[in-house]
Copies of this chain bind each other. A is one copy, B any other.
Amino acid sequence: MNEPLFDYIANYIELTEEEKELLSLKLHHRKYLKGQYVVQQGDICKHESFVLSGALKTFHLDNQGQEHVVAFAIENWWTADLGSLISQSPADYNVQCLENTELIQIAYNDLQELYKALPKLERFFRIIIEKAFVSSQKRIASNLSLTAKERYLNFKKHYPQIEQRVPQYLIASYIGITKEFLSTVRNQLASE
């Protein structure tokens, strides 16, 4: 039942059967219902989570109580408040399920042990975090240089699967505009 994760890992490194078993010992499956929180702002993030099924949002609650979506996660994505996880300090973000969701989780301490027992995992996580960082930089550049309309089109192009699964007001938050304005933008696009 860890196959989806092993398949995913196989894109980056090769694991022997023994290594897979070793890793499996530290993997925990957990089911969440729509609306449940995997991480709560202020708590310490204890796991790295791989999504088997479902969808989640990572968001920040600002001083005015407004929600800002910084990430989505669906099947075969990782999610966590990485800042909280790596420094074991209080989380800046909430991670909440948008659908019923099934995760494979690795606890912080177990991950540290796994790095020692299976140094290959350092390579695996290095590579996927490099990719995440690159996407993150691209998002910053696009937030700086594109208009709301362009950012929306960009989002649709890059994450068509997500666009169909999450409510529009969360997409608005993700691309950095209000839900009302996204509605206006969509109207403009429709009449072109």
Query: Which residues of A approach B to under 8 Å, CB–CB?
Result: 60, 62, 66, 68, 70-71, 82-83, 86, 92-93, 115, 119, 122-123, 125-127, 129-134, 136-141, 143-145, 173, 176
Q: Other than A71-B137, A92-B138, A143-B176, give 7 A-B pairs with Cβ distance below 8 A.
A: A60-B145, A62-B145, A70-B137, A86-B127, A119-B119, A125-B126, A133-B133
A/B interface sample: 19 pairs, CB < 8 A = A60-B144, A60-B145, A70-B137, A70-B140, A70-B141, A70-B144, A71-B137, A82-B133, A82-B134, A82-B137, A86-B127, A86-B130, A93-B141, A122-B123, A129-B129, A133-B136, A136-B140, A143-B176, A144-B173
Q: Are B66 and A131 in contact (CB under 8 A)?
A: no
**Quick one: copies of this chain in the complex?**
2
Q: Give the docked Cα–Cα distance between A175 and B54 (Å).
A: 35
Q: Are A145 and B68 in contact (CB under 8 A)?
A: yes
Q: Give the docked Cα–Cα distance between A92 and B83 (Å).
A: 26
Q: Contacts A68-B144, A119-B122 given; indicate if A137 touches B83 (C-beta within 8 A).
A: yes
Q: Give the docked Cα–Cα distance between A134 and B122 (Å).
A: 17
Q: Are B130 and A82 in contact (CB under 8 A)?
A: yes
The 4 closest A-B pairs by CB, nearest first: A126-B126, A83-B134, A136-B136, A122-B122
Q: Are A131 and B86 in contact (CB under 8 A)?
A: yes
Q: Give the docked Cα–Cα distance between A93 and B60 (Å).
A: 28
Q: Are B140 and A140 in contact (CB under 8 A)?
A: yes
